[in-house]
């Protein structure tokens, strides 16, 4: 299995790197509080653990390819993943950056609806669909938890549509930084020096811009003393109020979360 690379702008698709199986205990899982395992009793958790395997992928590894048979479902436990779709001429749209607690593997007609590539080294729990489906019948809690996660993702997707359809480059960058900061905080990490594991190109593909425009917007905000750049992969928010103001007043956004459907 050597890495076939199909060029497509920033979103090169390298074939699956070797997946490294890994021992793992749910007790210590850092994603536990945010994911579908959240509501489970120890005994139930054990049953879930019985049908899953825990694995790692190195940075740059593509472990889901759009159009391939959707055999598995993934539950991230650490690291950051970019989820994206490509147009035939190579244009790329990243639909989300996934972190610990997020699940991956949406399918349409039995094939994956998007590709997923590790930006940092990642670890995840992997489930085979038929087995997971079986467990759903016995533990409807899981299904409910997933419905909640799906609803949250749907709301995030709607916010992203507003961003892509109606916001300026500057507003997009500001919103992006605030969203990342919020997400970090909600995962118990510091929200201020914002960590940007992805490249400028990835940010561009996420925000519907070009690398150059992303860079210029950062520079502009830096010049205005709203942010400070900490190398290529970190941003310090110097003036939060200003950033919120620039983002446009819809940053209720990802602020709170997890209403169940009813």
Partner DNA sequence: CGAGATCTTGATCTGGTTCAAAGCAAGTGG
Partner DNA sequence: CCACTTGCTTTGAACCAGATCAAGATCTCG
Query: CA dist 51 to 44, 57, 77, Å?
Result: 12, 20, 16
Number of H helices, E strands in the chain: 7, 16
Among positions 27, 154, 223, 231, the unique one binding its own copies when judged by CB under 8 A: 154
The CA distance from 252 to 233, in Å, is 26
The CA distance from 49 to 37, in Å, is 10
Site for DNA contains 199 (CB under 7 A): yes
Site for its own copies contains 18 (CB under 8 A): no
Contact of residue 68 among DNA, its own copies, none (CB under 5-8 Å per partner type): none
Residues 55, 23 contacting (CB under 8 angstroms): no
Site for DNA contains 168 (CB under 7 A): yes
Among positions 69, 150, 185, 228, the unique one binding its own copies when judged by CB under 8 A: 150
Among positions 111, 158, 192, 219, the unique one binding DNA when judged by CB under 7 A: 219
Contact of residue 232 among its own copies, DNA, none (CB under 5-8 Å per partner type): DNA
Among positions 12, 47, 144, 170, the unique one binding its own copies when judged by CB under 8 A: 144
Contact of residue 132 among DNA, its own copies, none (CB under 5-8 Å per partner type): its own copies
Strand extents, DSSP E, the chain: 5-6, 13-14, 20-22, 52-57, 62-64, 72-78, 81-86, 92-98, 103-104, 107-108, 111-112, 115-118, 122-128, 194-195, 227-229, 234-237
- For helices 169-186 and 211-223, the axis angle rounded to 10 degrees is 80
Please give the DSSP secondary-structure letter assigned to residue 8: B
Choose one: 93-101, 106-114, 193-201, 239-247; the region binding DNA (CB under 7 A).
193-201
| Residue ranges binding DNA (CB under 7 A) | 168-170, 199-201, 208-216, 218-219, 229, 231-233
| Residue ranges binding its own copies (CB under 8 A) | 67, 70, 73, 85, 87-89, 91-93, 95, 106-110, 113-114, 127, 129-130, 132-133, 136, 140, 143-144, 146-147, 150-151, 153-155, 157-162, 164-167, 205, 207-208, 248-250, 252, 255-257, 259-262
């Amino acid at each position: 299995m050597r890495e076939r690379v199909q060029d497509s702008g920033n979103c090169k698709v390298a074939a699956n790197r070797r997946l490294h199986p890994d021992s793992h205990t749910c007790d210590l899982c850092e994603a536990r509080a945010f994911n579908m395992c959240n509501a489970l009793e120890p005994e139930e958790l054990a049953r879930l653990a019985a049908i899953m395997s825990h694995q790692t992928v190195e940075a740059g590894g593509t472990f889901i390819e759009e159009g391939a048979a959707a055999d598995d479902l993934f539950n991230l436990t650490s690291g950051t993943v970019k989820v994206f779709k490509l147009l035939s001429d190579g244009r790329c749209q990243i639909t989300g950056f996934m972190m610990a607690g997020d699940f991956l593997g949406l399918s349409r007609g039995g094939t994956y609806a998007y590709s997923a590539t590790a930006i940092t080294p990642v670890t995840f729990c992997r489930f085979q669909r038929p087995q997971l489906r079986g467990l759903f019948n016995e533990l409807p809690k899981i299904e409910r938890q997933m419905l909640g996660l799906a609803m949250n993702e749907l709301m995030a997707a709607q916010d992203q549509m507003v961003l892509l359809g109606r916001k300026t480059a500057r507003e997009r960058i500001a919103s992006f930084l605030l969203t990342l900061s919020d997400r970090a905080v909600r995962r118990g990490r510091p929200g201020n020096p914002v960590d940007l594991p992805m490249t400028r190109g990835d940010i561009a593909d996420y925000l519907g811009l070009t690398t150059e425009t992303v860079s210029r917007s950062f520079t502009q905000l830096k010049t205005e003393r709203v942010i400070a750049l900490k190398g290529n992969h970190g941003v310090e928010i110097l003036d939060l109020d200003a950033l919120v103001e620039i983002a446009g007043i819809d940053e209720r956004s990802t602020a709170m979360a997890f209403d169940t459907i009813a």
